[in-house]
Amino acid sequence: MVTDPDPIRMRWAVAAVGCRACAPAQPENLAPPGARDPPALRPVTDRLDRILARLERLIDWERRDRSAGMRVDRGPMLALMAALGEPQRALTTVHVTGSKGKGSVAALVEQGALAAGLSAGLYTSPHVETIEERLRLRGVPVERDRLAAALERAHAARAASLDPRAERASWFDVLTAAAFLALRDAHVDLAAIEVGLGGRLDSTNVLRPGVCVITTIELEHTAVLGPTRERIAAEKAGILWPGCELICGLDPHDPAGAVIAARARSLGVPARHLPPEPGEPLLHQNRRLAGAALEALGRRGRGDARGAPLSAAWVEGAFPNLPGRLERFSVGGLPVVLDGAHTPGSLAAVLAELGRDPGLPGRPCVVFGAGRDKDHRALFSLLRGTAERVFCSSVGQGLASPSTELASKAAEVGLDTETVSDPRVAIQRALAAASGRWVLVTGSLHLVGAVRRHLRTLDP
């Protein structure tokens, strides 16, 4: 058995709270905390709220059904960057994509840079509760007024641009442009940037990063990225450019890894492949990728605060500290783990990681929710034999599978299942049923967000 010298259980995001009666059940389309509710439903209280309400008019691919595909070019984002004076060109960046672990690897790069005494920034998506989670400056979430000011500038540039492509800039385009502005104006030494979706056509793919990281390749967002791992790998390899170095978490002999390796060779990009080692904990794997990225930056002349080349040593013992990614709570002494894993590979890695932790006794009760486009049967098959009971819930507006539909599919694979549409009620039921064991909330970051906020409102 491989053990982690810094087990995640030592990093409890502890909300040592007790249980009380939860609020009355809500309908299936309960909006997740942190979601962009319609302006009429969200109290507009400050500058950030006001600009976010204005941005609601823009197309938002995070909230739309992407089964029919998405935009097919980066033109709007390129036009927006030009209107803003190309702020991304002032940044030294590590650009991270992949099917699992991309946010964690980006956060570990940030943590390593901070440990090395550098000023670091981090941009990830989506957020779990509040939009400020997406942008960290020097290790803390961006201030609301600073983010509001950057969003106002990006939105104004969209309106003022003479390039007609700017009119098609999306909600995520404007947010990403604002993040690049804020990172530039903060004069960070290094910015770790997570791809939103895919790579080639993503809004973040206007960077010229020193290092690109591709973590894993699974079948995900197939309507947008393609029906095979090879096609998805080609989309994610679209972040490569001739001046970067590649750190890849896939074996070059893996079919998807071979696509990425071929793309790197065609561009003359030096590539280092670091596939998972047998039995390697997920955190260790992510640390290796982040450490290799820092080493690559060190070879390119980026030093730490003392002037020594950056190295992997700076991520030893580091934790990504991202909401909803292997995040721990304690409710009346009962362990609760939140992770938004939504692909079979992701969930398998999470279950393996948690299975190594002696602080999580027995089989968990699981609160589960997932989008309509996910492989529900494969996810439930992984939970079979692992979960004591599954409480199927639902959150979101139109993109999430109804809890009744999920429960039916869970029962088909032999899971002991209960339908609880309101995630707040579902976590209460799971806590009551998990006496002496623990609870896992998984399948969707939207669901995690709903449960996370509720956990933090419980009486101590």
Q: What is the per-residue pLDDT for 385?
A: 87
Is 6 inside a domain boundary? no
The mean per-residue pLDDT over the stretch 275-296 comes to 95
- Which is more confidently placed, 141 or 321? 141
- Which is more confidently placed, 436 or 297? 297
Give yes or no for a contact between 63 and 127, defined as CB atoms under 8 angstroms apart. Answer: no
The mean per-residue pLDDT over the stretch 188-208 comes to 96
State the CATH number of the domain containing residue 186.
Answer: 3.40.1190.10
Of the residues 315, 349, 374, which one is the last residue of a structural domain?
A: 315
Q: What is the per-residue pLDDT for 73?
A: 85
Residues 233 and 365 occupy one common structural domain: no
DSSP three-state, residue 257: helix
pLDDT in tens, 260-270: 999 999 999 99
Cα distance between the two ends of the chain: 36
Pick the range with the lowest mean pLDDT from 182-191, 274-283, 290-299, 396-405: 396-405
Residue 388 CB coordination number (10 Å): 18
Pick the range with the lowest mean pLDDT from 40-49, 105-114, 248-257, 336-345: 40-49
State pTM to two decimals. Answer: 0.87
Give yes or no for a contact between 63 and 397, defined as CB atoms under 8 angstroms apart. Answer: yes
Residues 147 and 284 occupy one common structural domain: yes
Give yes or no for a contact between 242 and 129, defined as CB atoms under 8 angstroms apart. Answer: no
Residues 114 and 132 occupy one common structural domain: yes
CA-closest candidate to residue 349, choices 411, 296, 282, 286: 282
C-alpha–C-alpha distance, residues 29 and 14, integer Å: 29
Q: What is the per-residue pLDDT for 64?
A: 62
Residues 59 and 167 occupy one common structural domain: yes
Q: Is 267 exposed, middle or buried (0-12, 13-18, 19+ CB in 10 A)?
A: middle
Residues 231 and 338 occupy one common structural domain: no
DSSP 115-181: HTT--EEEE-S--SS-GGGGEEETTEEPPHHHHHHHHHHHHHHHHH-SSGGGGG--HHHHHHHHHHH
State the CATH number of the domain containing residue 393.
Answer: 3.90.190.20
Whether the per-residue pLDDT at 11 is higher than 60: the answer is no
Give yes or no for a contact between 60 and 170, defined as CB atoms under 8 angstroms apart. Answer: yes
Whether the per-residue pLDDT at 458 is higher than 90: the answer is no
Q: What burial letters (b/e) apply to 135-148, b meaning 16+ CB within 10 Å?
A: bbbbeebbeeebbb
Give yes or no for a contact between 176 and 59, defined as CB atoms under 8 angstroms apart. Answer: no
C-alpha–C-alpha distance, residues 227 and 229, integer Å: 7
Whether the per-residue pLDDT at 103 is higher than 70: the answer is yes
Q: What is the per-residue pLDDT for 109?
A: 98
Q: What is the per-residue pLDDT for 63?
A: 67
Residues 130 and 228 occupy one common structural domain: yes
Q: What is the per-residue pLDDT for 21?
A: 30
Residue 251 belongs to what domain range?
47-315
Whether the per-residue pLDDT at 14 is higher than 80: the answer is no
Of the residues 315, 335, 351, which one is the last residue of a structural domain?
A: 315
Q: What is the per-residue pLDDT for 115?
A: 97
What's the angle, vertex CA 449, arms to CA 446 and CA 452, rounded to 5? Answer: 150
Does the CA dihedral 431-433-436-439 come out positive or negative? negative
**In the structure, what pLDDT confidence band is assigned to residue 456 with cuts at 50, 70 and 90?**
confident
* Residue 458: partners with Cβ closer than 8 Å, 6 or more residues away: 15, 17, 18, 19, 20, 331
Is 64 inside a domain boundary? yes
Residues 306 and 340 occupy one common structural domain: no
- The bridge status of strand 271-273 relative to strand 327-331 is unpaired
Residue 359 CB coordination number (10 Å): 13
Is 2 inside a domain boundary? no
pLDDT in tens, 17-42: 333 333 333 333 344 334 444 444 44
Residues 292 and 430 occupy one common structural domain: no
The mean per-residue pLDDT over the stretch 2-14 comes to 35
Q: What is the per-residue pLDDT for 199?
A: 94
Whether the per-residue pLDDT at 177 is higher than 80: the answer is yes
Residues 305 and 370 occupy one common structural domain: no
pLDDT in tens, 327-378: 999 999 999 999 999 889 899 999 999 999 999 999 999 999 998 878 899 9
Of the residues 274, 295, 315, which one is the last residue of a structural domain?
A: 315
What's the one-letter identity of residue 389?
A: R
Residues 171 and 306 occupy one common structural domain: yes
Is 5 inside a domain boundary? no
Is 132 inside a domain boundary? yes
Is 399 inside a domain boundary? yes
Is 450 inside a domain boundary? yes
Give yes or no for a contact between 393 and 367, defined as CB atoms under 8 angstroms apart. Answer: yes
Whether the per-residue pLDDT at 244 is higher than 50: the answer is yes
**In the structure, what pLDDT confidence band is assigned to residue 67 with cuts at 50, 70 and 90?**
low
- Residue 441's H or E segment, with its range, is strand 439-442
- The bridge status of strand 365-368 relative to strand 334-339 is unpaired
Residues 234 and 343 occupy one common structural domain: no
Q: What is the per-residue pLDDT for 39?
A: 41
Domain count, the chain: 2
Average confidence score pLDDT of the chain? 88
Residues 306 and 410 occupy one common structural domain: no
pLDDT in tens, 317-327: 999 989 999 99
Is 135 inside a domain boundary? yes
